[in-house]
Structures are given as structure tokens and as C-alpha cells.
Amino acid sequence: MQSVLIVDDEPNIRRMLGALLRAEGYEVREAGSGRSALAEVRGDEPDAVVMDLYMPDATGLEVLPELKKAAPDVPVLMMSGRASLSDAVKATKLGAFHFVEKPLAPEAVLLSLRSALELRHAKATNRALLEELRARDGMVGRTPAIEQVRSVIERVAPTDARVLITGESGTGKEVVASAVHERSARHTGPLVRLNCAAIPRDLVESEMFGHEKGAFTGATERRRGRFELASGGTLFLDEIGDLSLEAQAKLLRALEGGEVERVGGHEPIKVDVRILAATNKDLRAEVAAGRFREDLFFRLHVIPIHLPPLRERREDVPLLAEHFLARHAANGLRPPRLLPGAMDGLVRHPWPGNVRELANILERLSILHSGGEVGPAEIRVLLAGGAPVAGEAAPAYVDDDERPLADRLDAYERDLLNGALEAATGSVAEAARRLRTDRANLYRRMRRLGIDREVR
């Protein structure tokens, strides 16, 4: 039951309005002054407040800012029989949802109240969905290394400090950049990404700072660069270690001056940008080798965040697997069920491609084994060709069988089917279930292989 707090110094108004709202199924609470209303709201937040503009101890306009501070999501309807237009405007600016005139028209009060409560519900739903999306796209894992990353993100995100994110390819550096942006005061502004390794060397300056029409061959119109596009928000410079020394010098000038100049332009343009950078290279070693500017390194390396490779946080593999399978389910796929042995295989794999490789494997499983069960054999097939599973030596290849490949495969399949039929005591349906196929397919294979036995 939704609760409504009625605030009015006239008992008759509270009684009349309370009877109307109770008849509509609302829980009604009352306060006879502005100060007692504040105490009510702070003690037990109602779903909505209907408050008079003029009261002896404090006017509604005086109470409203404190009330909105104590309960910012609670809609407030103001009412008065002698308010001016300027009072109504002022109340709206202070956060009132609506202004109703006395004598109160029951239909108008109920309509305004319903609208206010619907808006509050919509905002709460939207906020919950946004938090769910942020959690879904955020860092997944519970190992100490990931908890440390989370801790640094929470501390650095509210600031404007530059962050340098390091780690092997596929560890989730872009996910960290998104998390920092979403938890910052700039989250309503844009998050603009620039992959420094993917830009041709002669277009880096144009991509970063933009260009004027006619600045070079092919510049048929004015174009804003990534710095301008990110103004008011965050610029994420991925693979920063791949920038040429010339581009590094220009980037350093932009960071120091807080302004850019388009290629072919003559006027500096002020930009308000927070810089996040990422690399899979050891920038200190790059500085020592003369491939990266030391002054730019120190400009970017204000707060370092290092992402560990997946092989160093194997305990997170089951959580990541659940996360990716749930995402595929939300996208309309029917993810498979991973049997215990299959999950063990995933946990033991060294994952040279890190989280990105795991995501790709699980997407492949969701497509190739949609809605089915996946055991260790299927995992080994998908991971074949990669590094050996940790703790298992790669099997040596020994071949002393001179039969043709087709005959050897038939023999293997015949033994497999006979074994399944033996285990199922002759039941084709049970054998098909154990082999994760259908009866028709099993019958076809039996006929082809000449398996003629009493089955049921």
C-alpha cells in the first residue's frame, strides 16, 4: 500500500483529504506543521507528500528544499488557496511536482497524485535497470586481484585523475575504462574511444584533433577530432604504446594546454576532457628504449591499474562463464549446460587470449551446443590447437596401426556405440541419451557399421 503524508495546519483539510485518499486505497499519515513533516519524512519516508504552502511555523517554500534534501525521490504536491503565480513557479523550481489550488477538486488531486507516483516508479525502475546494466558490464570476479582493481576504480573514478590501465590483450582494459567513466561525475558526458594502433600514422593527428575542410587531400569537410567529441566527458586512448613519437609530442601538448588545434586550423579550441589510457606494453621499458616519451609517460601514469591475466585468477573462470552464458541467453541463444568435467577443463586451460578468448569459446559453445550438455570431450575439441591444459602433458603421437583412417574411425565409432548399448542394457533410447544424440541418428550409424543386435 502506497503511503501519502498530508501536511497542513488545518485539521479539517487533513481530515477531508485523508478520507479521500483512504477511499482510494492509500495509507495516510498526517503532520500539522512543516517541522513535524520533516521529522516524519526523516523517520519513515512516505511515497508522496501533499503539503500546504502557508503554515505558521514555516512556509511550504521554506520546508520544501529541506524535504527534498532528506528524501530527493519523494514527489511533493503543493496546495494553497491564496498563492500567486510566482509562488507556483518558485515551488516548481524548488522541486515540487505540481501545484493544486484550494478548494481542492478531488479528481485533480487524485490525478496529480497518481501521475507523481507513476513518475517515481518509472524513475526507480530506470535506475534499477541502469544499475543492472552497469553490474552486467562491469568487472566479474571475486579473486583478491580483481577486488583490488575494483577498490582502485571506486577511489579514482570520482576524481579527474588520469589513469593508465595495463595488462595483456584480452584482460578487459576497456571494461575498466567504462567502469571508471560510469562511476565518475562525467558519466552523463560521452565516453569516446580511440584505438591508437588502428589509425594510419598520417591520420593520427586528424583523428585526435580534427581537421578543417581542404586541410589535406580528401578533407572535403570540417571534422571534429576525438578530443572535441569527448569534451565534457572521457577520452579513452587504447593501445597508447603504439603511438609514434611525433604523435606523442602533439598529445603531450594537448594534455598540458587543455586545448587542441585542428589540422589546417589557426584557432586553439578549449577542451574539457579526462584521459584514460591503456596498453599491453611495458611503457617503462619503452621509455628506456627511447620508443615512448618519458614526460608523456608521467603525464598518463598518475593512477596505474594493472589487470592480471586470466591464468592468475582461475577461480574467476566459473563466474565469467556464467556471466557470458547469461548474456548469450539474453540475446536469444539457448546456452548449453556445462557438466562438472567441462568446467574443470575451462578452469585448467591457460587462456593465452585471457577473458576475450573465454568469451569467444562460450559463444561458440552456445551456438554449436545450443540447449544441450557440454562435457570434457567437447571442451577439449574446442580448445584443441591451443596450449596444453595446465597439469596435463601433451600426449605423444605413436602410430603402429596400418589400417586406413576410415577403417580406424569406423572401428572407434563401433566400439563407442557398442559400449553405450552395453551400458544401457540394450536400450537404444538410453544409449542415444548417453551419447547426446537422437535415436534415429543412432539407428542410422548402427546400420552403417553393421551393428545387428537385439536392442529395444
Per-residue pLDDT reduced to its tens digit, 87-102: 888 888 888 998 888 8
Please classify residue 301 by burial: count the beta carbons closer than 10 Å to its beta carbon, then call 0-12 exposed, 13-18 middle and 19+ buried.
middle
Percent of the chain with pLDDT over 90: 47
CA 60, chain centre distance (Å): 41
Instruction: Evaluate if residue 335 carries a pLDDT over 90.
Output: no
Q: Is 307 helix (H, G, I), strand (E, B) or coil?
A: coil
CA torsion sign for 135, 137, 142, 146 is negative
* pLDDT value at 401 more than 80: no
Residue 246 lies in a domain: yes
How high is the pLDDT of residue 386? 41
Statement to judge: residues 178 and 264 lie in one domain: yes
What pLDDT score was predicted for residue 138? 62
Query: Does any domain span residue 109?
Result: yes
Give the structural domain span for 23: 3-130
Q: Do 164 and 300 have their domain in common? A: yes
Residue 141 placed within a domain: no
Gap between the Cα atoms of 199 and 207, Å rounded: 8
Write out the three cell numbers for 179. 567502469
The H-or-E segment that residue 14 falls in is helix 11-23
- 315, 274 Cβ separation under 8 angstroms: no
Amino acid symbol at 26: Y
d(CA 351, CA 386): 9
pTM as predicted? 0.57
50: part of which helix (H) or strand (E)? strand 48-52
pLDDT tier at 387 (50, 70, 90 boundaries)? very low
Q: Is residue 100 part of a domain?
A: yes
CA–CA–CA angle 225, 226, 230 (5° rounding): 125
Q: Which long-range contacts (CB under 8 A, 24 or more apart) does 96-105 make?
A: 96/64, 102/13, 104/13, 104/16, 104/17, 104/79
CATH number of 56's domain: 3.40.50.2300
pLDDT of 389 over the 60 cut:
no
Of 95, 130, 165, the position where a domain reaches its end is 130
Q: Are residues 277 and 158 in the same domain?
A: yes
Binning pLDDT at 50, 70 and 90, where does residue 390 land? very low
* Amino acid 391: pLDDT: 45
Boundary-marking domain end, from 308, 336, 368:
308
pLDDT confidence bin for 367, thresholds 50/70/90: confident
Lowest mean pLDDT among 26-30, 63-67, 86-90, 399-403: 399-403
In this predicted structure, what is the pLDDT of residue 135?
A: 47
- CA gap 59, 7 in Å, rounded: 11
Are 44 and 114 found together in one domain? Answer: yes
Cell 577530432 appears where?
225
263 and 293 housed in the same domain: yes
Mean pLDDT of 229-246: 94
Q: How many folded domains does the chain comprise?
A: 4
Q: Say how many C-beta atoms besides its own lie within 10 A of residue 391's C-beta.
A: 6
**Whether residue 50 sits in one domain with residue 76:** yes
Average the pLDDT over each of 8-12, 279-283, 304-308, 380-384 and give the range with the smallest value.
380-384
Using the CB atoms, write b or e for 78-107: b if 16+ within 10 Å: bbbeebeeebbebbeebebbbbbeeebeee
Is 290 found in the same domain as 168?
yes
Q: Which H helix or E strand runs over 99?
A: strand 98-101
Q: In the block, which residue shows the cell 596400418?
A: 402
Q: Same domain for 35 and 150?
A: no
> Average pLDDT in the 450-455 region?
68
The one-letter code for the residue type at 295 is D
Look up the CATH number of the domain holding residue 208. 3.40.50.300
On whether both 260 and 195 belong to a single domain, the answer is yes
Is 197 inside a domain boundary?
yes
**388, 345 contact by CB (below 8 A):** no
The SS3 assignment for 3 reads: strand
Smallest CA-to-CA distance from 276 within 387, 159, 379, 376 is with 159
389: in domain = no
List the CATH number of the domain containing 379: 1.10.8.60
Which of the residue ranges 80-89, 183-192, 442-451 would you say has the lowest mean pLDDT? 80-89
Same domain, residue pair 241 and 329: no
At 313 the pLDDT is 94
Name the residue type at position 355. V
At which of 308, 327, 357 does a domain end?
308
DSSP 263: B
C-alpha to C-alpha distance for 281 and 137, rounded to whole angstroms: 25
What pLDDT score does 317 carry? 94
Give the length of the chain: 456
Which residues does residue 78 pair with via DSSP β-bridges, in sequence order? 51, 99
pLDDT band, very low/low/confident/very high, at 139 (cuts 50, 70, 90):
confident
Better-scored residue on pLDDT, 308 or 221: 308
Q: C-alpha cell of 226?
A: 576525438
In a domain, 154, yes or no: yes
* Whole-angstrom distance, CA of residue 427 vs CA of residue 17: 75
Residue range 35-52: average pLDDT? 90
On the question of pLDDT at 368 being above 70, the answer is yes
- β 210-211/223-224 pair status: antiparallel
Q: Which residue has the cell 596401426?
A: 401
The residues near 110 (Cβ < 8 Å, ≥ 6 apart) are 20, 24
* Chain mean position to CA 420: 45
Same domain, residue pair 175 and 257: yes
User: Is there a domain that residue 455 lies in?
Assistant: no
Preceding omega of 65 cis (within 30 degrees of 0) = no
Residues 150 and 106 in one domain: no
DSSP annotation of 315 reads G
Give residue 203's pLDDT band: very low, low, confident or very high (50, 70, 90): confident
Question: What pLDDT does residue 192 have?
Answer: 94
pLDDT in tens, 253-293: 999 989 998 988 888 999 999 999 999 999 999 999 999 99
The confidence score (pLDDT) of residue 453 equals 62
Closest CA to 275 of 203, 243, 229, 227: 227
For the chain, give the mean pLDDT: 85
What DSSP letter does each residue of 112-181 carry, written as one string?
HHHHHHHHHHHHHHHHHHHHHHHHHTS----SHHHHHHHHHHHHHTTS---EEEE-STTS-HHHHHHHHH
Would you state the pLDDT for residue 129?
A: 57
Q: Are 436 and 373 in contact (CB under 8 A)?
A: yes
